[in-house]
Chain A
Amino acid sequence: MTVSSKKTFRSPLKASRGLGSAKDGTHHWVVQRLSAIALIPLSIWFVYALLTAIMADANAARQFVAQPVNAILLFLLVEAMLYHGALGVQVVVEDYIHKPCCKITALVVVKLGTVVLMAAAALAIGKIALG
């Protein structure tokens, strides 16, 4: 038996079968955790901001968002939140909706909807921050 110089934990059978019925690797799992870790400080900051500065009236909220540091944090929060939420809702759809056409439609709606929301949020924050 030859010993391969490249260290691999996969058996040749596994390698030839590819990813199997999962059809996907660990990417989804990894980005769900990374976005969760990013959300820990960002979301706590956001709740604090809501309680202290944002919830009063439009002027107070606009002044808050117009601060460059706040604008950047808010942008990161909203994008991470939408991304993490979309990854999560995707799993829920995959788990509970079984009819292929409904499932694919739901997944496309979630993904496109997320992109639209991400763009709208970025544009709104940008407009307030840049004047």
Chain B
Amino acid sequence: MTTHPRPLSPHLQVYKPQITSLLSILHRLTGLFLSLGSVIIVAWLFSLAFAPETYGIFVESAHSLLGKAFLLAWAFCFFYHLSNGIRHLFWDMGRGFEMKNVRRSGWVVISTAIFLTAGIGCNLMYYTKASVLSQEQTAQPTIADVTYSVGTYSVTVTY
């Protein structure tokens, strides 16, 4: 039996990047990143309930530079996926399909996501500032008690 090779779709590289296609793949990528995040959220809850001795890992990572970068990336993925998800739901109701509106809603979604992520960024920076400030206040040169605080809650870590 002769087998015919299945037709290939044109290679992705021949397409000019456009806001429509870029945002489409970004919805998928952010969905995947959020799924990774959901595993971490469950691990965090599990640690809170059953393994309090591991809870420090979460607090410390949330304050490390890498942890903050991760949180910021998560925030962007979340805000993007949320607003683009709402855009999807409008399409599912049959609305907003004209090319002009597809592009326009795309720009609305990406600017909303960047704006809200910047808000979280400020919040995380405030986090760092608060810890640096209290570090200066504790006049101990070698061992420093660093107090992190968010709102009315605070935690003290001894280095």
Which residues on A are within 8 Å of B, measured CB to CB? 33, 36-37, 39-40, 43-44, 47, 51-53, 55-58, 60-62, 65, 74, 78, 81-82, 85-86, 88-89, 92, 117, 120-121, 123-125, 127-128
Contacts and interface: CB of A to CB of B under 8 A. Distances in A.
B45 interface: yes
A118 to B, nearest CB: 8
B48 A61 contact: yes
B48 A40 contact: no
Contacts of B75: 47
Contact of A92 (B28, B62, B88, B155): B28
A74 B86 CA distance: 22
Interface of B: 28, 31-32, 34-35, 38-39, 41-42, 45-46, 48-50, 52, 55, 59, 62, 75, 78, 82, 85-86, 88-89, 92, 120, 123, 148-151, 153-155
A62 B44 CA distance: 11
Contact of A85 (B34, B59, B154): B34
A33 B89 contact: yes
Contacts of A37: 89
A47 to B, nearest CB: 7
Contact of B153 (A60, A82, A85, A128): A60
B28 A57 contact: no
Nearest to A74: B45
Contacts of B151: 52-53, 56
B50 A57 contact: no
Contacts of B154: 56-57
Contacts of A33: 89, 92
A52 B151 CA distance: 6
Given A57-B59, A85-B34, A125 B45 contact: yes
A61 B55 CA distance: 11
Given A43-B82, A56-B154, A124-B45, A92 B32 contact: yes
25 contacts: A33-B89, A36-B85, A36-B88, A37-B89, A39-B82, A52-B150, A56-B148, A56-B154, A56-B155, A57-B155, A58-B52, A61-B48, A78-B38, A78-B41, A78-B45, A81-B34, A81-B41, A82-B38, A88-B32, A117-B38, A121-B42, A124-B42, A124-B46, A127-B49, A127-B50
